[in-house]
Amino acid sequence: MEDIVSRLKSGRVIVADGATGTMLLAAGLPAGTPPERWVLENPDPIRDLQRAYVEAGSDLIIACTFGANRTRLEQTGLADRLVEINQRAVQIAREAAGDRAYVAADIGPTGELLMPPIGKMTYEQALEVFAEQAAVLTQAGTDVLYIETMSDLEEMKAAVAGAQQAAPGIPIFATFSFDHHGRTNMGVKPEQAAETLQALGVAAFGANCGATLEMTEGAVTKMHEAAPQAALIAKPNAGKPHMVDRKTVYDATPEDMAEYAKKFVALGAQVVGGCCGSTPEHIRAISEAVRS
């Protein structure tokens, strides 16, 4: 496979994968068990899901490491297995991707407020946490570091800087979750995110998760205006969740998401996929829509 930066430069769309968390729940992940535990103890459903995404048309598989930074693992009692979890998760994704898809390693938020003295974490501490995880992920052979679901500009900067320090030269993808009146819940505007991430030199950036497909569309539009040359990412939830028969159901169908994926591409997105609530069927529809 050509390296992912050349692939981005070619202008062709990269179809990422869909949800991991909500799919593992459907596969029987027990309430409150972090998916990272399954990386160690029950990897088959993770690999099966990722294979299903490859079969559905994903060119990029995101390893199950969203919560595998030290701060999060400390809270679930898995911190002493940080290296093992991150290595193993990249291997699982690689097994599923084979030579058909790129592997991206997931870096999620610490869950702390970077607002000293009120928040418990400083920028420097966050940077260290992210650098530690990024170093392990890169050594494990990931193609991309994918920082996602960020709300806070400072934490995003710490994650990007940590990744750049620990793994110079590795391509970085970076996305915020826009879910409060078109901005992140910490108040970051899409255009501000675009300017910052462009200046930091990440390979691609955009929006994931978020409140609605419309809000992601709005964010991508503004990011494109602020950074017309940038390769953008749109990886939204399958609409809003609601309850049916005690089950969480996301209301966007594969067709809905495929329609939006076409819009995102027209607006400058080059990496499209799904977040919470999306399934291999959603990815199949997206893949068919953006390649036709």
Partner 1 sequence: MNDILTQLQEAVITGEPEQAQGLATQALEAGIAPLDAIDQALNPGMQIVGDRYECGDYFIPDLVMAAEAMKAAMEKLEPELLARQEQRQILGTVVIGTVEGDIHEIGKSLVATMLSAAGFQVHDLGVGVPADRFVEQVKEIGASGDSVPVVVGLSALLTTTMRNQEAVIKALQEAGLREGVKVIIGGAPANPEWAETIGADAYAENANEAVDVVKQLLEV
Please report, as ranges, the residues that interact with partner 1 according to CB under 8 A. 21-22, 25, 29-33, 72, 75-76, 111-113, 115, 118, 151, 180-187, 241-243, 246, 248
Q: What does residue 128 show for φ and ψ, rounded to 5 degrees?
A: -65, -45
Nearer to partner 1, 107 or 290 (CB): 107
- For residue 56, the minimal CB distance to partner 1 (Å) is 22
- How far is it, in rounded angstroms, from Cα 170 to Cα 143? 7
Write out the two tokens for 211. Answer: 């409140």
- For residue 37, the minimal CB distance to partner 1 (Å) is 11
- How far is it, in rounded angstroms, from Cα 100 to Cα 209? 25
Nearer to partner 1, 25 or 161 (CB): 25
- For residue 187, the minimal CB distance to partner 1 (Å) is 3
Nearer to partner 1, 247 or 291 (CB): 247
CA nearest 110: which of 124, 130, 90?
130
Nearer to partner 1, 25 or 135 (CB): 25
Nearer to partner 1, 2 or 246 (CB): 246
Write out the two tokens for 134. Answer: 């990024």
Write out the two tokens for 125. Answer: 């501490």
As to burial, measured by CB atoms within 10 angstroms (0-12 exposed, 13-18 middle, 19+ buried), residue 192 is: middle
Write out the two tokens for 183. Answer: 């901005």
